């Protein structure tokens, strides 16, 4: 049942105070070639960092940290591995496959938590679509998947085939699901 209220909705939108309001992240366009990936990813992480900090401050928690790498170091390691799969693990106690998984999980969590603090990111699907289709990280992770579907390292191959990209995004792109 609808109820009538004695209050009127303000007609003059200019009178609304937008102090403290913020706008979504304005990311640069995706790099057109792979040689700019490192620079673009580091720049993108820097642009997302304030949103991540806001999300952490609002929730008093984070899921980032399993790799025990600084988030910029995590991004650099991921690019180094894509450019040279023989790159060593930044943590000697981890083999390359598990280290890649931890690094990718940290980066995805960093981006997802940052996006969830933005106005307009009201659903997990919106955050997921943004991450996989509108960010440099998404492009980097797609590249990692495509290049390591048949990796000789069992853990890296499993990561590329099963753990890296959500099946929904793989089907959205029309890529093969294993």
For the segment 32-37, the average pLDDT, to the nearest whole number, is 63
Q: Residue 12 has what pLDDT?
A: 52
Instruction: Give the whole-angstrom CA distance, residue 25 versus residue 92.
Output: 35
Q: Residue 2 has what pLDDT?
A: 57
DSSP secondary structure string, 96-115?
HHHHHHHHHHHHHHHHHHHH
Q: Given a cut of 50, is residue 29 above it in pLDDT?
A: yes
Instruction: Give the whole-angstrom CA distance, residue 102 versus residue 146.
Output: 19
Among all chains, which residue has been given the structure tokens 């109820």?
3
User: What's the pLDDT tens digit per position in 60-93?
Assistant: 999 999 999 999 999 999 999 999 999 999 999 9
E strand segments, 42-162: none
Q: What is the pTM of this model?
A: 0.79
Q: Residue 122 has what pLDDT?
A: 74
């Amino acid at each position: 049942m609808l109820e009538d209220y004695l209050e009127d909705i303000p007609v003059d939108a200019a009178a609304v105070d937008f102090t403290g309001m913020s706008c979504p992240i304005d990311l640069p366009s995706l790099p057109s070639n792979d040689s700019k990936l490192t620079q673009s990813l580091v720049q993108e992480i820097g642009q997302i960092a304030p949103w991540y900090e806001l999300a952490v401050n609002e929730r008093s928690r984070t899921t980032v940290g399993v790799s025990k790498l600084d988030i910029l170091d995590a991004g650099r390691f991921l690019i180094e591995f894509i450019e040279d799969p023989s790159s060593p693990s930044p943590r000697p106690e981890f083999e390359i496959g598990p280290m890649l998984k931890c690094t990718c999980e940290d980066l995805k969590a960093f981006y997802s938590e940052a996006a969830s603090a933005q106005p307009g990111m009201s659903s997990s699907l919106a955050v997921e679509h943004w991450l996989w289709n509108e960010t440099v990280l998404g492009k980097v992770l797609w590249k990692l998947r495509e290049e390591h579907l048949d990796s000789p390292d069992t853990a890296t191959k499993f990561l590329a085939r099963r753990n890296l990209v959500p099946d929904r995004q793989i089907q959205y792109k029309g890529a093969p699901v294993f």
